[in-house]
Structure 1
């Protein structure tokens, strides 16, 4: 076997992921940072962009919640709804800590789904 077959060939999916998935997104993020550098945080355009981003995120969460695919589809609807509600509650109780809300929601979803099928 050549060096290519043993070391580099198994890594080609990761290279494709970086080239097609990460780099195009990262270029736009960097450009956004450069362009928004002098903008006021309370300007109308920034408030609008933040509102659109929040709306898109909420839509993705609702799509995953109501029409899941893959392993998430095995979780009962009430488990998914409960996990979201617990995550939101912990987010506010932990002084708007996103990581605390996400971890709490995931723990609830995993626990309820595990016990539903155990």
Structure 2
């Protein structure tokens, strides 16, 4: 067995590991994106394509979570999951695109629907 490195074998090691293996790898890409995005035209076809791909990915994730949910979410009936999505979309459409209100509305409908159906 290899002896531990004294400097890394202390109470601060988990924080260093979090910084090295979680924060830095993602922060590098964010800072590079900021550097490269400075000269881009916001109305360029490239950014339109990026927005379309990001929207399609998000729509795919939401569809997967509704149709084939993982874990505990699978216990919620399909109708309740669809109702939660509908509530979120309605709040986004009516509430000047306030994301937090839409998320809270969807969660409230999901929790209330599971509670009412006794599926949880």
Regarding TM over 0.5, the answer is yes
Aligned to 1:101: 102
- Tell me: higher relative CO, structure 1 or 2? Use CA pairs within 8 A at least 6 residues apart: 2
The TM-score, its normalising length taken from structure 2, stands at 0.81
Higher Rg: 2
Matches within 5 A, 1:1-118: 8=11, 12=14, 16=17, 18-117=19-118
Give the CA deviation at 1:8: 2.4
Q: Mind listing any 5+ residue stretches in structure 2 that lack a counterpart?
A: 1-7
Give the CA deviation at 1:15: 5.7
Q: Mind listing any 5+ residue stretches in structure 1 that lack a counterpart?
A: none
| In structure 2, C-alpha distance between the alignment counterparts of 1:15 and 1:114, rounded to whole Å | 42
Give the CA deviation at 1:21: 3.8
Judging by fraction of residues, say which structure has more helix: 1
